[in-house]
């Protein structure tokens, strides 16, 4: 039986977002469909697997959150790259900071949307409030 696995506690994280393995529908990676070049997930890398489930228990959503987490990590690295560059000016630095802020806000909204989809017992009013909060933070997302 196939398993979806990840290296972060409690769900997919930036290691899944930024590795070359194809993402399962939940945002984790499929143990039977790993990229051999991946430095994180193949058994031979001897890395700790901290989360997972059988494919038949997959919630079927989570890729958009995983991608948002990965985008935040890349934007964070980009800020450091600009800060370390001798050619970058204040405008470049502000652009990198704005991109990082946008990535953080998108990730925050995706976390709220993911929480709302995952929750089993919310009242309709609570679901509406969660969606409204996510859309206030990140109005461009359509999910
Ligand atoms: Zn991987
Ligand atoms: Zn899954």
Q: What's the CA-to-centroid distance between 114 and ligand 1, angstroms?
A: 22
Q: What's the CA-to-centroid distance between 127 and ligand 2, angstroms?
A: 23
| Paired sense of beta strands 29-30 and 3-6, if any | antiparallel
Q: Backbone dihedral region of 11: left (phi > 0), alpha (psi from -120 to 50 degrees) or beta?
A: left
Distance separating alpha carbons of residues 53 and 73, to the nearest angstrom? 25
- Residues of the domain holding 10: 3-57
Tell me the per-residue pLDDT of 23-43, one tens digit each, with 9 for 90 and over: 999 999 999 999 999 999 999
Cα separation values, 78 from 85, 89, 95, 98, Å: 10, 14, 10, 11
Q: What's the CA-to-centroid distance between 22 and ligand 2, angstroms?
A: 12
Tell me the per-residue pLDDT of 60-71, one tens digit each, with 9 for 90 and over: 999 999 999 999
Residue 138 is given by DSSP the state -
Is 110 within the bounds of a domain?
A: yes
As a whole number, the mean pLDDT across the chain is: 94
Is 143 within the bounds of a domain?
A: no
- Same domain? For 48 and 67 the reply is no
Q: What's the CA-to-centroid distance between 34 and ligand 1, angstroms?
A: 6
- Same domain? For 117 and 52 the reply is no
- Same domain? For 73 and 121 the reply is yes
Q: What's the CA-to-centroid distance between 9 and ligand 1, angstroms?
A: 15
H/E stretch holding 72 reads helix 63-84
Distance separating alpha carbons of residues 22 and 26, to the nearest angstrom? 11
Q: What's the CA-to-centroid distance between 19 and ligand 1, angstroms?
A: 5
């Amino acid at each position: 039986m196939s398993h979806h696995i990840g290296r972060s506690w409690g769900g997919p994280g930036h290691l899944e977002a930024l590795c070359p393995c194809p993402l399962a529908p939940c945002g984790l990676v499929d143990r039977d469909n790993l990229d051999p070049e991946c430095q994180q997930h193949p058994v031979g890398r001897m890395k700790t697997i901290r989360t997972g489930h059988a494919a038949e228990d997959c919630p079927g959503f989570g890729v958009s959150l995983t991608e948002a987490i990965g985008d935040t990590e890349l934007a964070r690295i980009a800020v450091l790259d600009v800060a370390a560059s001798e050619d970058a000016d204040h405008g470049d630095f502000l652009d990198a900071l704005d991109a990082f802020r946008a990535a953080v806000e998108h990730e925050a909204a995706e976390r709220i949307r993911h929480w709302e989809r995952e929750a089993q017992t919310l009242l309709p009013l609570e679901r509406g409030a969660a969606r409204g909060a996510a859309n206030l933070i990140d109005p461009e997302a359509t999910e």
